[in-house]
Chain A
Amino acid sequence: DAGVIQSPRHEVTEMGQEVTLRCKPISGHNSLFWYRQTMMRGLELLIYFNNNVPIDDSGMPEDRFSAKMPNASFSTLKIQPSEPRDSAVYFCASSFVRTGNTGELFFGEGSRLTVL
C-alpha cells in the first residue's frame, strides 16, 4: 500500500517567493496533519483537517501560511511570501480518527524547505 506522499522532497527558494507543498494522504484516512520540524522547536503541529475541514489551525505561524484540503486525497500548504525563518522540514501525516482515537499517525517523508 502506498503511504503518505509528499512533494517536493526538497525545495530551495529565495525570500519573498511563494512556496507550495503538496500531500496525498493514505486512502481511507479521514484526518490530515501538517507538522513542521526544526532543530530549535522540534515537531510542531501546524494544522489539522478532519473530513477535509480545517479543525485546528492554531499552530499556523502567521497569515503568510495557508493550507487547503479540496478533497480527501490532496492537501497543500502554502507560504507566501516565504522568509528564511520558514526553513524547515514540513511533514504531512494522515490518520483515521474516530471516537476513542488511538492517535497513530502515518507520516510522509517530508519536504525540506530552504529559503535563502
Chain B
Amino acid sequence: AQSVTQLDSQVPVFEEAPVELRCNYSSSVSVYLFWYVQYPNQGLQLLLKYLSGSTLVKGINGFEAEFNKSQTSFHLRKPSVHISDTAEYFCAVTMDSSYKLIFGSGTRLLVRP
C-alpha cells in the first residue's frame, strides 16, 4: 500500500531564508508525486507535480521539488521565502492511472519577519 510521510509538522523560518519541506513515500510501483498548498481558510491548490522525466520539478511561486527514487523522497524547496508563503503544505502520491491521491499529514510553514 502507498503512504506518504511528512516528518515535520511545523517549520519556522525567517523571511528571505531558504526552506526545505521533507516528504517521503512508500510504494512498490511507479508513482506520481504532488505538492499542494493550503492557505488559511482556503482549499488546497497545486504547487507542482512529478509525472516523469526530469527529476527536478519547478512549480508556482518559486517552489521546486526533486524526485529521488533511491531515497523515495520528494522534498520541496524554496531559496528565499516570503511572509506570504506562510501556509500548510501537503505532499501527495498516486499510482500511475489511479484516481486515489494519498496525502501526507501536512507541514505548516511559518515565515517570520
Closest residue to A59 on the B side, CB-wise? Answer: B100
Q: Enumerate chain B residues within 8 angstroms of A100, measured Cβ to Cβ.
A: 96-97
- Smallest CB separation, A60 vs chain B (Å): 14
Query: Looking at the complex, which of B10-18, B45-53, B75-83 is the stretch in contact with chain A?
Result: B45-53
Report if B90 contacts A (CB, 8 A). Answer: yes
- Residue in A closest to B4 when the chains form the complex, CB atoms: A42
Please tell me if A48 contacts chain B, counting CB pairs below 8 Å: yes
B99 touches A48 (CB 8 A): yes
Assess whether A43 is in contact with B90, with CB atoms less than 8 Å apart.
yes
Query: Which A-chain residue is minimally distant from B33 (CB atoms)?
Result: A103
Q: Are A104 and B34 touching (Cβ within 8 A)?
A: yes
Which residues of the partner chain B approach A71 to less than 8 Å between Cβ atoms? none
Q: List residues of chain A with CB within 8 A of the CB of B105.
A: 42
**Contact code string B35-62 (vs A, CB < 8 Å = 1, else 0):** 0000001111110010100000000000
